Amino acid sequence: MKQPNYLTKLNRMLAAGQIRLKGTGVHVLDVTHEDWCAIYQGKTCDCDPDVKLRATVVHEAENR
């Protein structure tokens, strides 16, 4: 099965270092799909969604 387009964009953000996974905490993302995207029919995302990092809540252990 083909990977949804929003996950492809998310993986690019990870590869570019825009999002860190190890020891960060929680990331809040906005994913905006086109009105015609197949995701609204319960299928795989096939549009070019906007994926934006809204916030990162750093785990308390990282703040010490």
pLDDT category at 61 given cuts 50, 70, 90 is: low
- Phi/psi for 7 (5° steps) reads -70, -35
Q: Dump pLDDT digits (tens) for 10-25.
A: 999 999 988 887 777 7
- Yes or no: say if 36 and 43 are a contact pair by the CB < 8 Å rule: no
More confident residue, 4 or 21: 4
Smallest Cα–Cα separation from 60: which of 25, 19, 10? 25
Supply the pLDDT for residue 60: 67
Q: Dump pLDDT digits (tens) for 19-56.
A: 887 777 788 999 999 999 999 999 999 999 999 999 88
- Evaluate if pTM is beyond 0.75: no
